[in-house]
Amino acid sequence: MTSVVVRACSEADWATVVHVDQLAFGYTFDEEENAADRNVLELDRSFLAYVGDTPVGHTTAFSLCMSVPVGREVAFAGVTWVGVLPTHRRRGVLTALMRSQLDAVHESGEPVAALHAAEPAIYGRFGYGLATQRLSVSVLRGHTALEAPVDAALTARLSEIADARAAVEEVYAAVRGVRAGIPARSDLWWDRCANDPKSARDGASERRCVLIEDAAGPRAYAMFSVKHDWPDGSAEGELRVREHAATDPAAAAALWRFLLNVDLVGRVVHESLAVDDPLLELLADPRRARPVRSDAVYVRLVDLPVALAARTYDVPYDGVVEVVDGFAPWNAGRWRLALRPDGAECTRTDAEPDVVLDVRELGAAYLGGTSLVTRAGAGFVGQRTAGAVAALGRAFVHEPAPYCPFVY
């Protein structure tokens, strides 16, 4: 294994961080496109890895707060900008970076870490489990009929992104109250999510916002752009939904009815829908949405008892769970869990376990969207007491499905 030295960063390391990230991910840093990322990046939470005098890897984390079941939230480290130079992969650089980062997150008191993985196979060995998934859809013109009644009280209003901020935040906050996995957004995070540099549009229009509202206020929104195309003189443009949310079924139906019926558009695409988004239920012909399911957020429990106590559980569970955690030994061992609708108690015990699992599986189940029974069927969860895995799984499951509307 290569001798790797990891050190914490400061503001003076910005140029080095950019240099490493460009080489690790094979792109050229664009100041305009990445200005909003720079504003939210916390260099004092960043680490650089060196081999000799050469910087060969980097990682950082955002200080964020995530919604958890139900109507609660937990502070978490949003792990990001993780990269190792292609000349130094598989030499222990990433392990050294993740070691330093996890220790720092633990010391900071954040009980949870989470990330979006560029390559899904990487992070399981560090205790991250797949907690949310997403759908990408592409709906062709001519297949947009909806099976949903029209609420006459709802109207659609187009707005500039900046002017829509208050309305968007109101809807966003309401959805966070019922759906797990959604980060809170500060002013800087709002600016990042609304950022729309011309260089990143790929020929599409500037991003706009549609608000679905009634006399009492906003109930849904979508941020979108349109890329026009006129093959053989016929309009076949593409409407690209960047982000959307709705507080209730009627508003969701009104929002999709608008998006699917914009003139001069041949298809509507959305690359990040919740797996239970109403769209597939609303379409008269759901096959035409061409949904593709993929991984989204990976969750790691950093302080197991604190993380478990931060959320609630729809179905009670009492039992002993043995947790394997080779990367955070403070989590490892046998825990007596008392999971309740008002929270949880998690205490050390020497009793025989009912369930044995890796901390990765608890991270996957944490937001309520991953079935422990399914993971057990694949051989990742061990059962020592009959029915224990199903009972534990029922406690963790929560609907609606967890979801994150943007990549951090």
Mean pLDDT of 346-363: 98
Task: Give the SS3 label for residue 172.
Answer: helix
Q: Comparing C-alpha atoms, which of 219, 160, 154 is closest to residue 194?
A: 160
pLDDT at 2 over 80: no
Asked whether the beta carbons of 391 and 371 are under 8 A apart, the reply is no
User: Which DSSP category does 183 fall into?
Assistant: B
Q: Of all residues in the chain, what percent carry a pLDDT higher than 90?
A: 92
pLDDT at 216 over 90: yes
Using CA atoms, how far apart are residues 401 and 406, in angstroms rounded to an integer? 16
User: Residue 30 — very low, low, confident or very high, per pLDDT cuts 50/70/90?
Assistant: confident
Q: What is the pLDDT of residues 134-146, one digit of tens each?
A: 999 999 988 788 9
pTM over 0.75, yes/no: yes
Q: Which run of H or E residues covers position 49? A: strand 47-51
User: Residue 1 — very low, low, confident or very high, per pLDDT cuts 50/70/90?
Assistant: low
Q: Going from the N-terminus, what domains does the chain have, and what CATH number goes with each?
A: 5-110 (3.40.630.30), 135-294 (3.40.630.30), 304-396 (3.30.1050.10)
